[in-house]
Chains A and B, each alone.
Chain A
Amino acid sequence: MFDKQVIELKKLWANKRQLLFQLLNLAMIVFSALMIWKALMCYTKSESPVVVVLSGSMEPAFQRGDILFLNNSVDQVGVGDVVVFKIKDRDIPIVHRILKVHEDSDGKVELLTKGDNNRVDDRGLYAPGQLWLEREDILGKCVGTLRYVGMVTIALNDYPVLKYVLVGMMGLFVLTSKEG
């Protein structure tokens, strides 16, 4: 089944003008995706506007594999908001709900979070000695959700080989598909 694709590739190699055109096509797709991502980053003021839920600590609200849309352009996060936060020296952000808010007259807030499905609050997850989260730790407030989409990301993370296979296949098809 790949024979045809290989023949197409050989033809393409012979025709340099066509090859250039197809490469530009491929670049266009990649850069469009990147532009959409960066535009979302600008609009939501969040360093990652879309996140995938990796744990079951917010069940039944969010399950593993759901994706969440974040907005960080809100000034204040309030009690009850589902937020994504990052702990210093830890790579993976956490999605949990705000349990306590203490704000002084200067507007400086201190927050405590808890997962809906966890028995205790998050102090054990924070950095050693850290009792409260601050506004800067919050990557964004969850504003929407879409189910199952994140399963793809989880699969790609669990089986890194899949990543290369998928990207390779897509590249091959974009290069060899003829428009019209």
Chain B
Amino acid sequence: MHTVWVRLNAVVFFGLTVLLGLSCLAGFSKIMHSQMHQPIIETLELQTLRSIKSHGGVDRALLSFNIDADMNPAFHWNVKQLFVYVVASYTTPSKEINNVVIWDTIIENIDSTKKKHIQQTNVFVKYALVDQGNELRGKDVTLKLMWDHMPITGFVYMDEQKNLDPSMSTFTLPSEYSSLK
């Protein structure tokens, strides 16, 4: 009854239960934090439209944008990293909803306060704005900043910009293929 095995089994099992319990507590501990502490987003606007071209049968636009977003409030001790990304949304006759990520970055919890405040001008897109067909010309495009809290343990939580005038982030693409030289 009191063999080594029984004791070892009891200790390991109890240890695992405690760990699981603590993980659950950690997961629940900051569940309302993100609703109360929102990042401060000041700017997200088109800087330059470099080109819009037909690229192998599909329309492709290259552009750069300005961004000023202080992500510091979003961090708490159960956030391992923030995955921040800019989404371009538009509507075409054949596809009602088009959401395309054009830029993303990872901010880790160990990064400096300065790095958690994204403040850049004339950022060139990481992924080109490519349409599924050739219907990109003349469309209204809205940029939107979104982010994803990746927890150390617990729930994934996603959020997007609020309180920012959407007209600032909206622009119309030219109706003909064009490019800046």
Residue on B nearest A79 in the bound complex, by CB: B99
Contacts of B68 in A (CB 8 A): none
Residue on B nearest A131 in the bound complex, by CB: B132
B99 and A147 contacting across the interface, CB-CB below 8 Å: no
Contacts of B155 in A (CB 8 A): 143-144
A1 and B94 contacting across the interface, CB-CB below 8 Å: no
- How many residue pairs, one in A and one in B, have C-beta atoms under 8 Å apart? 81
Judge if B25 is at the interface, Cβ distance under 8 Å: no
Interface range for A: 20 to 34
Q: Interface digits, A116-146 against B, CB 8 Å rule (1 contact, 0 not)?
A: 1000010000000000000000000011111
Judge if B156 is at the interface, Cβ distance under 8 Å: yes
Number of interface residues of B (CB under 8 A): 35
A60 and B81 contacting across the interface, CB-CB below 8 Å: yes
Whether A1 contacts B3 in the complex (CB less than 8 A), given A60-B81, A61-B150, comes out as: yes
Instruction: Tell me, in angstroms, the Cα distance from A60 to B127 when the chains sit together.
Output: 20
Judge if A91 is at the interface, Cβ distance under 8 Å: no
Instruction: Tell me, in angstroms, the Cα distance from A105 to B98 when the chains sit together.
Output: 11
Whether A60 contacts B80 in the complex (CB less than 8 A), given A102-B95, A145-B156, A177-B6, comes out as: yes
Judge if A56 is at the interface, Cβ distance under 8 Å: no
| Chain B binder among A11-19, A28-36, A47-55, A93-101 | A93-101
- 7 chain-A/chain-B pairs, Cβ below 8 angstroms: A61-B80, A62-B150, A80-B87, A99-B101, A100-B101, A101-B97, A173-B6
